[in-house]
Structure 1
Amino acid sequence: MPDKSTGDIASDQYHKYKEDVKLMSDTGLEAYKFSISWSRLIPNGRGEINPKGLDYYNNLINQLIEKGIQPHVMLYHQDLPQVLEDEYNGWLSPRIVDDFTAYADVCFREFGDRVYHWTTIAEVNVMAKASFDLGYFPPQRCSNPFGVINCTSGNSSTEPYIAIHNALLAHASIFHLYKTKYRAFQRGWIALNVYTAWYTPFSDSKADIQATKRVIDFELGWIVDPLVFGDYPKTMKKIVGSRLPVFTKSQSEYVKGSFDFIGLNHYSSSFVADNSVEALAMPVRDCISDMMATFTASNNITPSDQYIPTSIPYRPDGLSKMLEYFKQKYKNPPIYVQENGCGLGLEDTMNDTYRIDFLNGYIRSTLEAIRNGANVRGYFVWSFMDVFELMGGYQSRFGLYFVDFDDKDRKRISKLSAYWYSNFLKRKNIKELQEVQNVALDLI
């Protein structure tokens, strides 16, 4: 981490879940999305369940239900049990399918009587690049010249595609497990989550327009095309060639339609310029250079912005355009916007008017898409409180509620945006905003 921090305690919801759920209820939340840690629940990846982990998740879910808040659960958020990485390289092996499915089976059995919205993997497209191309995320696999670390193992040209292929098959396996074993009496929904940005051609040139289409295929179609159509985009198959794994006929049928809704994480938009001449001249390409495009300079605003194509801050119309794209290309599937928010570093920690403007813009954009027929079922702000960010540690704060990480009690304090969002949820006017702002600032 830039600040040499760890997530060992972080916001400490493990001990403060009752306080946090009360705060959610007071805020007016109707739903709360959280991740179950595979490593916490089943430390060895398979087999024995950790009773303390099981108790914690049951307690959190029960507390949410008691307060009338729907739990939305993410099964995997970049926390593979180390033993599976050591044993067979995790997502690079087809063996991950059986182990991930068995873990999901435990979650459905233990929590599925109260949880109706399940998402298998967070930002699976980002995982491929960050973990197996650039080396940002564990297991930090990459190869020169593509890695941002000193690469000791990996192949940036092939491994991202292998990891995604296995992840899609693992997701489909979980979907079919739930459909055949649990749906009749639990009546829940299964999703896969994908990071999305809206992309616009840098110019009106044919090359930039084609580059933008390529980027969308590589960023979004890579994941969603197999779910909807049963195969990878033709653009990818042509460019990547033999490095792209192939679905068998039975696998294609298995993956196609293996979702009840799609989870979108969306923070920003980017301009795209063609880079095909330089990319095609490279002796070896990774999955990023395969897109044969460059992106505009950025002010970073996403939780893991270093590995995402550089972005233009605060373009809320990009979300409505993305939702319209889903409506047109992917037959208007049910969608939950599972992450949307804004990190302000350590500036304007409490008086976060920029965040209010940001959220106001993106919520309006979501509502515009709904009015135009997009099948959006829900929207989540990232994040409810300040958390340990995977790339930024405690230096980038996304929460509506401030957490004092220097205080052993991890005190939560309402930011101005928390008051704004609560009033929005409760349909209140915000006449007292300036007064509330002064109160919030006095608490620091």
Structure 2
Amino acid sequence: MKSMMPPKRESCESMETPNTCFTNAFMLTFLLLNLALETVAGADTYSRDDFPANFVFGSGTSAYQIEGAANEEGRSSSIWDTFAHAGYVHGENGDVACDGYHKYKEDVKLMVETGLEAYRFSISWSRLLPNGRGPVNPKGLQYYNNLINQLISNGIQPHVTLHNYDLPQVLEDEYGGWVSRHIIRDFTYYADVCFREFGDRVLYWTTVNEPNVFSFGGYDQGSSPPHRCSPPFCAIKSNRGNSTYEPYLAVHHILLAHSSAARLYRKKYRHKQHGYVGISVYSFGFFPQTNTEKDRVATQRARDFFVGWVMEPLQYGDYPISMKTNAGVRIPAFTTRESEQVKGSFDFIGVIHYTNINITDNSDTLKNQLRDFNADMAAKFSGLDLFSNEEYPVTPWGLREELNNFKLLYGNPPIFIHENGQRTASDSSLQDVSRVKYLHGYIGVVLDALRDGLNIKGYFAWSFLDLFELLDGYKSSFGLYYVDRDDPELKRHPKLSAKWYSRFLKNRSTSIVGTVELEKDPSLVSIGHLFE
């Protein structure tokens, strides 16, 4: 297998003449500069100081994507383990991942060097509670205590997610996991353990990561854990599940479990821990393909089905009218008591956003007698291929539009941008100029939104390291740091984006456009001054 290590560069001393070294370095610098300026020229100049002092900048990972140690010290399997080991992610899995379980001190040191103010990570339910409920695994408890203490002692704010695609397999086997009401009791028990054990140091809790995409992928298409679907709707064939109603059922139980955990925190822990409980939602920038009435209506309907599916029950106590109309009895109804419990059961919303999609009306699907979530939505997407590793276009106005929608439709709630980042093919190149351009554009839009009065509290770049990705495994990359998977030590290497982000976070008086510097690399000269 070809090595994934960054190619060894010749130093100036090893080259024939100093002039040759300077010429090569200048030419590479010139090329990098031109690439970067293709997008940032004319963009607003801003610095860290332009953001409020209490606004946090961080980066994120999740348990199965970074920890590894999948079969160590009492951890049981999750639905993500089962899905990956079935061969559905290019035959790859997270058994080792980035070995964050053993390398957390090294990773926190990198966070400090980068200048991160916060770190978003998830807890592996099956590591902490191998049976899904009951006794706590002392080794799992120790690991998360160690990680949290390491973050706190280095001045980094922990933001914790309780569920990220990794329900304990034992609960899936016992009663079907999120399609059963039993999950509400077990999730609340799990949340209680986490609040009790870690809540003296953790103030920001996200219950479930992107329940809309989790349920669509896992229960309609079967393209992600727990791989439940039914013909003809399966993207990956499965022998269990029902695509016509299980996605709706899963989100319904997630909302009830979330609100149960939030209620528990408010009654039992908030008065002494003073923390916050929220949930995250995946959102595109939604735009009509044409300026026709049908496409405009379809765009609103698509947004109802993706974002309103989670947000309208949280804000108003019920699902969007378009969903109830098109799904009919297949979408569960809240009782009056449940509606009251779900409504307002959040202190913040985590927005996950990467790119925009164009919407075309597809109302003909409503004539089908057998329909799934996608057919109920009656809209076609274009402009996005989830199953490729192609880069996202830098189109930050889509995020701005969505943030405006949250303000207009949901009362301007406190928002953290929980995930935002550029996808590239996984390789050993550290010169990820496209990621720098992407981060520059999107962080600038967040600043614009803040200046317009939107209630945004923080921004987390996805991802801190190159991880085991949900759809791509190790074939794509989002990381600020490259992880050499051919090195037994899984050595981390900072990319250009890590250095750019670090300079932005540390040098509060410097324009963000002037914060790129390739330091301590004898074959490159500093290009920071060229941007200023």
Tell me the TM-score normalised to structure 2 length: 0.79
Mapping for residues 146-165 of structure 1, pairs under 5 Å: 146-165=233-252
- Conserved? CA contact 1:197–1:266, under 8 Å: yes
* Corresponding residue number in structure 2 for 1:352: 432
* Corresponding residue number in structure 1 for 2:184: 97
CA distance in 2, matches of 1:13, 1:50: 18
CA distance in 2, matches of 1:381, 1:251: 35
- Conserved? CA contact 1:270–1:312, under 8 Å: no
State the AA in 1 paired with 2:245: T
- Conserved? CA contact 2:212–2:281, under 8 Å: yes
- Conserved? CA contact 1:197–1:267, under 8 Å: yes
Q: Which deviations, in whole Å up to 9, do the C-alpha atoms of 1:256-298 show, x marking residues without a partner? A: 0000000111000111010102x12322111011110111143
CA distance in 2, matches of 1:439, 1:326: 48
Q: SS in structure 1 opposite 2:431?
A: coil
1:170 aligns with 2:253: no
CA distance in 2, matches of 1:258, 1:356: 36
* Corresponding residue number in structure 2 for 1:86: 173
* Corresponding residue number in structure 1 for 2:14: none
- Conserved? CA contact 1:351–1:437, under 8 Å: no
* Corresponding residue number in structure 1 for 2:315: 228
Question: Deviation at 1:436?
Answer: 3.4
CA distance in 1, matches of 2:447, 2:186: 39
Give 1 or 2 for the bigger CA radius of gyration: 2
Identify which of 362, 368, 371 aligns with 1:285.
371
Q: SS in structure 2 opposite 1:409?
A: coil
1:390 aligns with 2:473: no
* Corresponding residue number in structure 1 for 2:405: 325
When the two chains are superposed, the root-mean-square deviation of aligned CA atoms in Å is 1.9
Q: Which deviations, in whole Å up to 9, do the C-alpha atoms of 1:390-412 show, x marking residues without a partner? A: 21111111110111112111101
CA distance in 1, matches of 2:186, 2:118: 29
Q: Label 1:431 to 1:365 Cα distance change in 2 as closer, same or farther (>3 A).
A: closer
State the AA in 2 paired with 1:18: K
Q: SS in structure 2 opposite 1:295?
A: strand
Q: Which deviations, in whole Å up to 9, do the C-alpha atoms of 1:22-75 show, x marking residues without a partner? A: 110111111000000001110110011111111110000000000000000000
Question: Deviation at 1:441?
Answer: 8.8
Identify which of 268, 285, 288 aligns with 1:201.
288
CA distance in 2, matches of 1:166, 1:440: 56
Question: Deviation at 1:2?
Answer: 4.6
Give the number of aligned pairs. 434
Question: Deviation at 1:433?
Answer: 3.8
Q: Label 1:432 to 1:240 Cα distance change in 2 as closer, same or farther (>3 A).
A: closer
CA distance in 1, matches of 2:180, 2:424: 38
* Corresponding residue number in structure 2 for 1:296: 382
CA distance in 2, matches of 1:68, 1:352: 28
1:117 aligns with 2:204: yes
Q: Label 1:312 to 1:240 Cα distance change in 2 as closer, same or farther (>3 A).
A: farther
Identify which of 499, 519, 529 aligns with 1:436.
519
Larger deviation, residues 177-186 vs 404-413? 404-413
Q: SS in structure 1 opposite 2:353?
A: strand
CA distance in 2, matches of 1:297, 1:118: 33
Mapping for residues 4-403 of structure 1, pairs under 5 Å: 4-277=91-364, 279-298=365-384, 300=385, 305-306=386-387, 313-347=393-427, 349-403=429-483
State the AA in 2 paired with 1:31: A
Q: SS in structure 1 opposite 2:355?
A: strand
CA distance in 1, matches of 2:520, 2:292: 47
Q: Which deviations, in whole Å up to 9, do the C-alpha atoms of 1:172-192 show, x marking residues without a partner? A: 000000000000000000001
State the AA in 2 paired with 1:61: I
CA distance in 2, matches of 1:296, 1:363: 25
Identify which of 499, 503, 508 aligns with 1:419.
499
Q: Label 1:358 to 1:114 Cα distance change in 2 as closer, same or farther (>3 A).
A: same
User: Which consecutive residues of structure 1, in runs of 5 or more, have no partner in the other structure?
Assistant: none
* Corresponding residue number in structure 1 for 2:67: none
Q: SS in structure 2 opposite 1:133?
A: helix
CA distance in 2, matches of 1:293, 1:349: 38
State the AA in 2 paired with 1:7: G
State the AA in 2 paired with 1:320: R
Q: SS in structure 1 opposite 2:519?
A: helix
Q: Which has the higher contact order (CA 8 A, sep 6+)?
A: 2
CA distance in 1, matches of 2:223, 2:524: 36
Larger deviation, residues 332-341 vs 385-394? 385-394
Question: Deviation at 1:110?
Answer: 0.4
CA distance in 2, matches of 1:404, 1:66: 28
Q: SS in structure 1 opposite 2:306?
A: helix
Tell me the TM-score normalised to structure 1 length: 0.94
State the AA in 1 paired with 2:372: D
Question: Deviation at 1:438?
Answer: 5.0
Q: Which deviations, in whole Å up to 9, do the C-alpha atoms of 1:327-360 show, x marking residues without a partner? A: 0110000000000001211257311000000011
